[in-house]
Structure 1
Amino acid sequence: MSVVTEPAAVRTPANGGRRLRWPHYLLIASGLLVLLSLVRVIDDAEPVTSSGTVSAALRLAVPIFLAGLGGLWSERSGVINIGLEGMMILGTWTGAWAGYQWGPWIGVLVGILGGALGGLLHAIATVSFGVDHIVSGVAINILGLGLTQFLAGLLFNTGEAKALGGGPRQSPPVDPIMTLTMPVLSGGKIGGWQSPDWLGAVEDRHWFVVSDLAGILRGLTSGMSLLTLVALLLVPLTFVILWRTPFGLRIRSCGEDPYAAESLGVKVYRMKYAAVTISGAFSGLAGAFLVTVAAPLYQDGQTNGRGFIGLAAMIFGNWRPGGLAAGSLLFGYTDAMNVRGGGQAVHALLLFVAILLVGVAVWQAVRAGRLRPQIVTDAGRREVRNAYLGSVLALVAAVGLFAWFLMSDIVPGELVSFTPHLTTLLVLALASQRLRMPAANGLRYRRGEAR
């Protein structure tokens, strides 16, 4: 049996520095909690950390995360997958078609299968036939949209399905998946007994930090779908498989240098096929989540670009599951603020983002100052210059947002609805300097060819 050794490029942190550990993440999370609590008190915007907002944010983040997880598996094997949206659409239709007939869990399994078929088609086009990855992904998106619209009109608008509430653009209702609520902590009923709601009582006190923490914990422990819990468990599972098993190492080696992996005995075609098919399965699961948890039926246009936002979250997360989860929660949170809080809550976020941008400006300036004495090449000088430029731009944006916050009481509704997309652009712009995609991502591979 051949052994694949992990290349240095895989082990080295993307930014060339020290990788953050759990104490660092806990410190960052604590700082963000204090900042959110401060913003809530200053602007009297209770939805900022309410349990309802947190619960909605989690529900909105899960399909984005699952789609991004599909992109991560595919691109770690060297195949760009912008067809995540089309695979999600296939998952919504197949999940709803099976779900209203045989129950939600069967719908989830069939939705996974529908997305996996889309991933398999992408693998055949890109891996076997060498089609450009972007072209193939666009074709999958077009195919998923057109095929599901045709099948919805064919199967949901006739016979028993129509009698149950189906139509040319929607399926009959699907039974929702069971939810979980922690008794005593978050209330709920056990038989005929009404459980206390300790976290809810603390949240209603509106204490600084303490009530905010209670609201966040209550949002995570009340009314959580079992499928949401499964999705959360996929974060450590994906990390263990891709970074702690021989199978995961072989997949990542195909994304870094498939010719070197081939020379060490890795079946590159087989690994790419497996990764892209798994990618489609995760996207199908995201689509099935939409029809069994987010809404109890299939509707035309239901994905609403979540596959592309999942791709952005994957890039923001630097092609790693932890960063992907954080990016998905960020996008889900801004979307939840739009749904739950409206203009007043988004107005409070202006101050929150302004303070964060000041922190980014300081960090970029400190980083440039540390790099400057060690840089002797033109590329290094460019990096220092870009860091200083990023610091100035972040500071200017912070001043502008702070002025907007002081001069207004509420954010216009048009901007509120655009908030998630604006967040996507800002996050990718600020995170671009620390990103490192797999070295062979998007490159055409042919067994035995010279590089």
Structure 2
Amino acid sequence: MTATTEFSRPEPESGTPMPKRRRVPRIPGWARGVIWAVVAIVVMSTASYSTGVAALTSSNTASTALRLALPILLCALGGLWAERAGVVNIGLEGMMILGTWGAAWGAYYGGVWVGLIAAIVFGALGGLLHAVATVTFNVNHIVSGVAINLLGLGVAKYLANLIFEPISGNPRQSPPVPKFDTYSASGLSDWLGSLENEQRVGISDVAGVLRGLVTGVAPLTMIAILLVPISYYVLWRTRFGLRLRSCGENPVAAESLGVNVYRHKYVAMLISGGFAGMGGASLVLLKGGADYLENQTNGRGYIGLAAMIFGNWRPGGLLGGAALFGYADGLQLAGGGEAVLALLYGSVILLGVIVVVQLFRRRWLAAGLGVVGAGILYAIYWTNDTLPSDLIPYTAHFVTLIVLAVASQRLRPPKADGQPYRRGEGD
């Protein structure tokens, strides 16, 4: 036997193999997403029957939430492409504003598909301008992004005055524009509707949520959802995606291996701006939404950026963040103050589940914050029969932020995200 000291580990006898550490099987990301989706439906179902508020899991709420989640999802995807290439894109809001104007202008003169293309082009132009400033001239990414937001708002206002005021007489609003047609899986939708109306515990809740997702769906909605797995495949399963991500991790090493870092950053920013422009188009071209309005985005670009960070710079994670924000926003529109108050009760249950998960992971601070957050939300729910009408539009987002904060994970942004880079630095 080899002598050991207080600070050294005993070595095994000669010929004795080292004991192998047990590996805990890793759950795939898509499986974790499915598990959390099931947990969320169970929690909302429990809250719905405990409070008597059916709007928590109704098909109307699910349909509204899907429509409101789309601009957030598309902006989050835009942020993902930019930051994976090493460019912080605070300018998503401005690119989205440009997309709303482009969608209204294109749709008014050429129809919905022309409007969608125009929105993508206008958003991509905002992304190109951000790339010129940050990639070519090494302007601080935050400063450039804020400038893009202000510029997008100003340009859209000027163009609305120039184009829309002579037509509609209102410089802050476009004339009525065509909307995307919607499609439903009629047989499946009718069957799910009958299950929802039967008010069976659990079954009717799942049927209501699924019915909202397959009824009145626009082509733009389907395109936006498909962009999530497409983005994952391109960024993580192709040579182009590997090179683009290497620009966000270590551009000097990527350049030494023959990667054209500037070109990949420019392509990423064009795609990022195009996705943000699509997000703006979803506010204008989907049924149930308004035509072009000044300040129509209402900060959704920033919310998309927050959803991307919550998703840990991964497509599946940002999909969950966008769905959470969209559900909170859709609930207060579909169910009003009573539904938002019931959401507080459901959030308390969900926070309880998250606290248990954080305790299992030995994240004591997050678990403690969860207990405090759950206590605050339950106190608000218990002491109020109704909520002030002025606070209803913001209460759902406040609840969402608490849930996101408690459910925080070990964030892992790209290592060179936002860092300046000059061609030839590695020489």
Give TM-score scaled by structure 2 length.
Answer: 0.91
Structure 2 gaps of 5+ residues are 1-23
Partner of 2:14: none
1:388 aligns with 2:388: no
1:403 aligns with 2:379: yes
Name which of 285, 299, 304 aligns with 1:305: 299
Give CA-to-partner distance per residue, 1:303-327, whole Å, 9 cap, x none.
1111000000100111111111111
Q: Within 1, Cα distance between the matches of 2:374 and 2:419? A: 39
Partner of 1:360: 354
Report the RMSD for the aligned CA atoms in angstroms: 1.8
Name which of 176, 180, 197 aligns with 2:183: 180
Name which of 124, 132, 148 aligns with 2:156: 148
Q: Please say if residues 175 and 296 of structure 1, whose CA atoms lie closer than 8 Å, have aligned partners that are also in contact.
A: no
Name which of 412, 415, 418 aligns with 1:442: 418
1:98 aligns with 2:137: no
Name which of 199, 219, 236 aligns with 2:192: 199
Deviation at residue 401 of structure 1 after TM alignment: 2.2
Q: Please say if residues 174 and 296 of structure 1, whose CA atoms lie closer than 8 Å, have aligned partners that are also in contact.
A: no
Name which of 73, 81, 85 aligns with 1:77: 85
Q: Which moved more, 1:52-61 or 1:205-214?
A: 205-214
Name which of 334, 338, 342 aligns with 1:344: 338
Name which of 415, 418, 430 aligns with 2:394: 418
Paired amino acid for 1:211 = S
Give CA-to-partner distance per residue, 1:67-115, whole Å, 9 cap, x none.
1110100000000000000000111111111110110110100110000
1:331 aligns with 2:293: no
Q: Within 1, Cα distance between the matches of 2:283 and 2:276? A: 11
**Would the alpha carbon gap of residues 352 and 438 (structure 1) be closer, same or farther in structure 2, given more than 3 Å must change?**
same
SS of the equivalent of 2:420 reads coil
SS of the equivalent of 2:391 reads helix
Q: Within 2, Cα distance between the matches of 1:319 and 1:431? A: 15
1:274 aligns with 2:277: no
For 1:34-73, list aligned pairs within 5 A. Answer: 34-73=42-81
Aligned length: 403
SS of the equivalent of 1:26 reads helix
Give CA-to-partner distance per residue, 1:249-302, whole Å, 9 cap, x none.
111010011011111111000000000111000011111121111535211111
Deviation at residue 17 of structure 1 after TM alignment: 9.4
Q: Please say if residues 70 and 221 of structure 2, whose CA atoms lie closer than 8 Å, have aligned partners that are also in contact.
A: yes
1:295 aligns with 2:289: yes
Partner of 1:371: none
**Would the alpha carbon gap of residues 29 and 267 (structure 1) be closer, same or farther in structure 2, given more than 3 Å must change?**
same
Give CA-to-partner distance per residue, 1:167-192, whole Å, 9 cap, x none.
21111111111100112222xxxxxx
Give CA-to-partner distance per residue, 1:113-149, whole Å, 9 cap, x none.
0000000000000000000000100110010001110
Q: Please say if residues 367 and 406 of structure 2, whose CA atoms lie closer than 8 Å, have aligned partners that are also in contact.
A: no
Deviation at residue 30 of structure 1 after TM alignment: 2.2
1:236 aligns with 2:239: no
Q: Within 1, Cα distance between the matches of 2:379 and 2:233? A: 46
Q: Within 1, Cα distance between the matches of 2:328 and 2:267? A: 34
Partner of 2:146: 138
**Would the alpha carbon gap of residues 183 and 110 (structure 1) be closer, same or farther in structure 2, given more than 3 Å must change?**
same
Q: Within 2, Cα distance between the matches of 1:395 and 1:408? A: 20
Q: Please say if residues 344 and 377 of structure 2, whose CA atoms lie closer than 8 Å, have aligned partners that are also in contact.
A: yes
1:168 aligns with 2:171: yes
Give CA-to-partner distance per residue, 1:354-373, whole Å, 9 cap, x none.
122222222222222xxxxx
Deviation at residue 411 of structure 1 after TM alignment: 2.9
**Would the alpha carbon gap of residues 226 and 423 (structure 1) be closer, same or farther in structure 2, given more than 3 Å must change?**
same
1:252 aligns with 2:232: no
**Would the alpha carbon gap of residues 154 and 277 (structure 1) be closer, same or farther in structure 2, given more than 3 Å must change?**
same
Q: Please say if residues 373 and 402 of structure 2, whose CA atoms lie closer than 8 Å, have aligned partners that are also in contact.
A: no
Deviation at residue 388 of structure 1 after TM alignment: 1.7
Q: Please say if residues 340 and 396 of structure 2, whose CA atoms lie closer than 8 Å, have aligned partners that are also in contact.
A: no
